[in-house]
Amino acid sequence: MTYKQTLISALVVISLASFAHAASFNPGTYTAVAKGNGGDVPVTVTFSANSIEKIEVGKNKETPGIGSVAIDTLPKTIISGQSLGVQVVSGASITSKAILAAVAACVKKAGGNVDELSKAQTTKMAAPAQTLNTDIAIVGAGAAGQTAAIRASELGKKVILIEKMPFAGGAAAVNGGTVVIQGSKIQKEAGVKDDSPAIMTEDYIKNGHNLNDRRMLSLYVNNVGPMVDWATTYAGMKLNTKAGFTNEAEHSKPRVMRWIDGAQGATRYLKAAVEKSGTKVLLGTPAKELIVKDGKVTGVKAQASDGTLYTINAPAVILTTGGFGANKNMLTGNLKNALYYGVKSSNGEGHQMAMNVGAKTQMMNLGKIYPNGMEVAPGIAKSTIWSNKAAFEDNSGIMVNKSGKRVISELDTNHNIKNEEVKQGGKLFILMDEPTYQAFLTKLNITGISKEDMDKWLAQEGKGYPIVVKANTITDVAKKAGVDGAELTKTVAKYNKFVQDGKDADFGRPSKFMKKQIASEGPYYIVEQQPRFATTMGGVVTNDKLNVVDKNNKPIAGLFAAGELVGSAMGDDSPPGGNMAWAMTSGKLAAEQAVNSLNK
């Protein structure tokens, strides 16, 4: 069964319009545009005298595998019910609302009654309970779950993969798009022959502040290279070898590359490989509980959005449900008040299901906090990580505190910059001239921010969320952002002298990233920077076979886990490319161990 087929079967609520009178339109074809997550979403609608006949969504920049799901399915739902009163696609609400707004505008142009079409009666499709039998059931279709499904299928096992969202991808679909490739053939072919598991271990222990679970870290560093070789051959994934390694201060050796098209590309490759594998995929189907018989996990119960109750019998279950960053009730310590920018689906259901059968957990108070976020709404952040690289590596952007002073190299580690932000009251500021700002804009769409968003925030003149301001002089832009303008002017002059001398005498910003001076004429821009988090670093405990253990460290028969759900390999901080590499490496290993358990 393909992703599209399973998605259609998982669309569970069909909204039927309740009209006082039959709908009436001026026949013809009309076009309207609404703002989506990635910019304009053009929609063309064809009407007959009494019905909506056709809806086409034009060229857009909505996220593949997320917004594209709404584009594929919502028009069909509107036409089927002849109604605008339909449910948005969970997880793709911005794209859904854009489509609905554009269709509504077309209805108005066609002389239809938008208010009447927006009224809906919902009827749930009756569906009987179903019992399914498989070799391996995998819960969660992020990078770890999809990797596990591909590998287990390759090894000859029958696999059912269930996902609570109406699309696959999880947090991996919206991450930075990079992956660690230590020990892979591609790393060696790119000229890096002096890296090793031992060196990577040293880097990770330093970055994770010696809080790493050494057993999991050993699994990671010794298997990530073979995983990359497998993923780029059997699984058909593609790395951007032409662009080469990304510059990452956390890694002492070049070992991080981007997938072609970043996270969006990785999402497409995984989806295609899962389809090719023959895995049965049930989207829109949240798991409810694990089935346990005689102390052994023997399957999982789930319920689709249409109400269908599934009993999935499987002698091996792999939990790959991600983290719990979106669940405030599970957060503790610094995470409780940190800005959250991750996927809304990270609610910790996998942790809870595992704990309900006695699973041991560790390091549940830790999360990966990044320094490069904007508070776009109270408590909610969006990332500028790739835009920052464009501003700092190829242009003249600098980062200052409220007093207008640089306090750290803009290209230091994420951990050190985050700590400096906390020290500076939780906020730093990026100053950019016009060329730098334009470069900054080109990378924002990677993390779901559009130029239209930036223009809207600029119009707030620093009086809303987030602080994004523009002015013709350094003192004026500083005033709008609440930064000391006189001191910022001195800082700019000092930095420009460093560029001229080819050396950052204050903080050691690498000279190869100091090729351009800050322009002597405006306009200038300031964009806030605040700590943000999405990834939880703790989770369930497993043995070295990724078999979940109980509080007495005894394996829970039949239960395996991988990905963010199994925290601890990276300690309290994950370096760039680390989370994606861990998800896929642990997913592949969990599949292999689950298969081995069945073959005994």
Res 132 pLDDT > 90: yes
Count of positions (residues) in the chain: 600
The mean pLDDT of the chain is: 91
391 shares a domain with 255: no
What percent of the chain is modeled with pLDDT above 70?
94
The band of 65, judged by pLDDT with boundaries at 50, 70 and 90, is low
Q: Rounded to whole angstroms, how far apart are CA atoms 384 and 374?
A: 7
pLDDT confidence of residue 214: 97
The band of 549, judged by pLDDT with boundaries at 50, 70 and 90, is very high
233 shares a domain with 174: yes
Q: What average pLDDT does the segment 382-390 reach?
A: 93
For the chain, the helix, strand and coil percentages under 3-state DSSP, each to the nearest 5: 35, 25, 40
282 shares a domain with 154: yes
374 shares a domain with 362: no
Q: What average pLDDT does the segment 119-131 reach?
A: 66
Q: Rounded to whole angstroms, how far apart are CA atoms 309 and 204?
A: 43
pLDDT confidence of residue 6: 47
pLDDT confidence of residue 354: 97
Could you say which of 504, 533, 562 is where a domain stops? Answer: 533
pTM of the model: 0.77
The position carrying tokens 């009407």 is: 47
136 shares a domain with 104: no
pLDDT confidence of residue 484: 98
Cβ atoms 30, 322 nearer than 8 A: no
pLDDT confidence of residue 121: 47
What percent of the chain is modeled with pLDDT above 90?
78
By mean pLDDT, which of 241-250, 377-386, 472-481 is the weakest? Answer: 377-386
Query: Roughly how many angstroms between the first and final C-alpha of the chain, as a whole number?
Result: 29
Q: What average pLDDT does the segment 223-229 reach?
A: 98
The residue type at 525: Y
More confident residue, 230 or 60: 230
Domain extent for 15? 3-124
The band of 136, judged by pLDDT with boundaries at 50, 70 and 90, is very high
Res 543 pLDDT > 90: yes
Cβ atoms 527, 571 nearer than 8 A: no
181 Cβ neighbours under 8 A, 6+ residues apart: 187, 224, 225, 228, 239, 255, 256, 257, 577, 581
173 shares a domain with 230: yes
- Residue 571's region, left for phi above 0, alpha for psi from -120 to 50, else beta, is left
Q: What average pLDDT does the segment 93-119 reach?
A: 92
Pairing mode, strands 524-536 and 367-377: antiparallel
Range from 136-145, 328-337, 529-538 that averages highest in pLDDT:
136-145
Nearest to 578 by CA among 113, 37, 216, 136: 216
102 shares a domain with 142: no
Which CATH number goes with the domain that contains 357?
A: 3.50.50.60
Work out the number of other CB atoms within 10 angstroms of the CB of residue 247: 16
Q: What is the SS3 assignment for 565?
A: helix
Q: Rounded to whole angstroms, how far apart are CA atoms 357 and 551?
A: 10
- Residue 324's region, left for phi above 0, alpha for psi from -120 to 50, else beta, is alpha
Return the exposure string of 510-537: e unless at least 16 CB atoms fall within 10 Å of the residue's CB, then b. Answer: eeebbeebbbeeeebbbbbbbbbbbbbb
Nearest to 354 by CA among 387, 324, 382: 324
Could you say which of 514, 533, 552 is where a domain stops? Answer: 533
By mean pLDDT, which of 3-12, 232-241, 427-436, 578-587 is the weakest? Answer: 3-12
Could you give the number of structural domains in the chain?
3
Tokens of 116: 């009447």
Work out the number of other CB atoms within 10 angstroms of the CB of residue 318: 32
Cβ atoms 35, 59 nearer than 8 A: no
More confident residue, 427 or 335: 427
The band of 584, judged by pLDDT with boundaries at 50, 70 and 90, is very high
Q: What average pLDDT does the segment 538-555 reach?
A: 97
pLDDT confidence of residue 127: 59
440 shares a domain with 306: no
Res 305 pLDDT > 90: no
Res 9 pLDDT > 50: no
The band of 380, judged by pLDDT with boundaries at 50, 70 and 90, is confident
291 shares a domain with 269: yes
Res 16 pLDDT > 50: no
Range from 145-154, 438-447, 567-576 that averages highest in pLDDT:
145-154
pLDDT confidence of residue 67: 77
The band of 126, judged by pLDDT with boundaries at 50, 70 and 90, is low
Q: What average pLDDT does the segment 354-383 reach?
A: 92
433 shares a domain with 309: no
Q: If you compute the radius of gyration of the chain from its CA atoms, what whole number of angstroms results? A: 25
Res 13 pLDDT > 50: no
Tokens of 218: 């050993």
Could you say which of 533, 555, 588 is where a domain stops? Answer: 533
Nearest to 483 by CA among 529, 513, 526, 444: 526
More confident residue, 315 or 263: 315
63 shares a domain with 140: no
Res 122 pLDDT > 70: no
pLDDT confidence of residue 447: 82
pLDDT confidence of residue 377: 87
Q: What is the SS3 assignment for 530?
A: strand
455 shares a domain with 487: yes
466 Cβ neighbours under 8 A, 6+ residues apart: 374, 375, 376, 457, 527, 528, 530
pLDDT confidence of residue 120: 58
What strands, in cross-sheet order, belong to the sheet with 280-282?
A: 280-282, 159-162, 136-139, 316-319, 555-561, 547-549
Cβ atoms 47, 24 nearer than 8 A: no
Residue-wise pLDDT for 485-504, tens only, equals 999 999 999 999 999 999 99
More confident residue, 512 or 89: 512
Cβ atoms 564, 535 nearer than 8 A: yes
pLDDT confidence of residue 533: 87
